[in-house]
Amino acid sequence: MAYDKFNILTSSAVPLPIENVDTDQIIPARFLKATERVGFGDNLFRDWRYNGDDTPKVDFVLNNSMYSGKILVGGKNFGSGSSREHAAWAVYDYGFRVVVSSFFADIFKGNCLNIGVLPVQVSAGFANKIFAAIENDPKTELEINLPEQTITILNSGEKESFDINGYKKNNMLNGFDDIDYLQNIKEEIITFAEKQLI
């Protein structure tokens, strides 16, 4: 399932400075029945966003109109817990293209990269600078430059580099998932296979 190509994203960000956010908080287990990647955004952080009667909790950041954008800035150890792919699906379906944290659970990080969500791991100090900038001005914009592998707080110019697997970087730049990648090199695979039969 292809997704939009990712190159450079400039956007305001939604701050969630909570540590150890696990996948059950991102998407509660009772919403895991579907097998397609659509509709999960409605239940992103469901139990934090809504009361038992489905009314929005006014103190949760996703219900605060001051904050918006395609970037979610989370606390340390984001995406821990079970390995459910649906957590990454919910993040993407809600509209986030980037999650920033000072540490990601490995499986969640991989699940994000597989569907077009870029996990940007920064130092704890830089994460704190981002939170402070957003607190000072909710419209603060971040620039995520995938080709250069940098994240910049635009109003201050402060910048930090981030790591990404080369294969996953190439896939994101092209909007490929693993199947799309194989389809893209189909002729090379056929040529290689034919040579093995000689």
- Give the chain's mean pLDDT: 90
Task: Decide if 27 contacts 96 (C-beta within 8 A).
Answer: no
Task: Decide if 75 contacts 20 (C-beta within 8 A).
Answer: yes
The predicted pLDDT at position 183 comes to: 67
Tell me, yes or no, if the pTM score tops 0.75: yes
The predicted pLDDT at position 182 comes to: 60
pLDDT band (50, 70, 90) for residue 198: low
The predicted pLDDT at position 196 comes to: 77
The predicted pLDDT at position 2 comes to: 54
The predicted pLDDT at position 29 comes to: 84
Res. 181: pLDDT tops 60: no
The residue that leads in pLDDT, 158 or 176, is 158
Task: Measure the CA–CA gap between 149 and 134, rounded to whole angstroms.
Answer: 21
Strand order of the sheet with strand 141-145? 118-121, 98-101, 71-74, 8-16, 141-145, 150-153, 158-161
Res. 4: pLDDT tops 90: no
| Closest C-alpha among 67, 76, 59 to residue 21 | 76
> Per residue in 107-132, pLDDT tens?
999 999 999 999 999 999 999 999 99
DSSP state of 160: E
DSSP state of 155: T
Label the pairing between strands 158-161 and 150-153: antiparallel
- In sequence order, the 6+-apart residues with CB closer than 8 A to the CB of 30 are none
The predicted pLDDT at position 37 comes to: 59
pLDDT band (50, 70, 90) for residue 186: low
> Per residue in 79-109, pLDDT tens?
998 888 999 999 999 999 999 999 999 999 9
DSSP state of 55: P
Res. 151: pLDDT tops 90: yes
In angstroms, what CA-CA distances link 47 with 31, 54, 67, 88, 128?
Answer: 11, 9, 19, 17, 26
pLDDT band (50, 70, 90) for residue 162: very high
Q: Is residue 96 left, alpha or beta, with left meaning phi > 0 and alpha meaning psi from -120 to 50?
A: beta
The predicted pLDDT at position 34 comes to: 61
